[in-house]
Structure 1
């Protein structure tokens, strides 16, 4: 029975760190692909993604900015809940309007971001460092 309970000794902060790094990597790579060939990115937003209510020339930079910013915030664990929320918005748009058939992959990303959103970035984060500094000054 002891072996079954062994995973309970894994610190939550390690799980939070792994979740942050995994999601940050996915969206950082996506943003880098967009930036590497901006004309192709604009064509994809105009012709394939077909987002309603927003012009492709606005949607492309908005999505790319959200991916870069959210990735950096999650990776560093700085304002990580905000970064997770931003990327949850990106995933929601992708799921609803672009690739609804990829729901399992989107659910995996969303699950990791919901962990960060609800439980924070964990011990290995700049959020934790800032919290400790601010508590000392208060």
Structure 2
């Protein structure tokens, strides 16, 4: 009976040990890669959206006037504002330059889309908002112009 219980505990320790090692593996992924992935993914979504708007500006204005129906703002003002925010925010996120500002801008766009335009698409908006909140709260990461600028400014302060 003792030999059986020893074998059983050894196989459990082996199985549990293997499981523990496997669930720890993702922790080896550098967080900066996660940040870079979040930045690039969400920047791509909004860059594509802006390019679609620019490809047919008359259609864009018509959509803002009829389908989007934003309250409190004229479609002829809302369309260029939204497009500018999408382009600017996308570029800032992609480059990792003033990335928190870019994330904040695009969070504003996501909020307007969620509240006033397509509230039924909440799951997609939540995905975008989650990526943007990651960048807003944790920054752009090591692979960014923000990090390079921070290093340059830190060197200047020390000298």
Range into which the TM-score falls when normalised by the shorter chain: over 0.9
Where do residues 97-116 of structure 1 align in structure 2 (5 Å cutoff)?
97-116=116-135
Superposition deviation, residue 132 in structure 1: 0.2
1:65 match: 84
- Are residues 1:44 and 2:63 paired? yes
- Are residues 1:96 and 2:115 paired? yes
Superposition deviation, residue 33 in structure 1: 0.1
1:125 match: 144
Where do residues 23-38 of structure 1 align in structure 2 (5 Å cutoff)?
23-38=42-57
Query: How many residue pairs are counted as aligned between the two chains?
Result: 138
1:54 match: 73
TM-score relative to the length of structure 1: 1.00
After TM superposition, where is structure 1 displaced by more than 2 Å over at least 4 residues in a row? none
The one of 13, 23, 31 aligned to 2:32: 13
Superposition deviation, residue 47 in structure 1: 0.2
Q: Which has the higher contact order (CA 8 A, sep 6+)?
A: 1
TM-score relative to the length of structure 2: 0.86
Offset from partner CA, 1:97-127 (integer Å, 9 cap, x none): 0000000000000000000000000000000
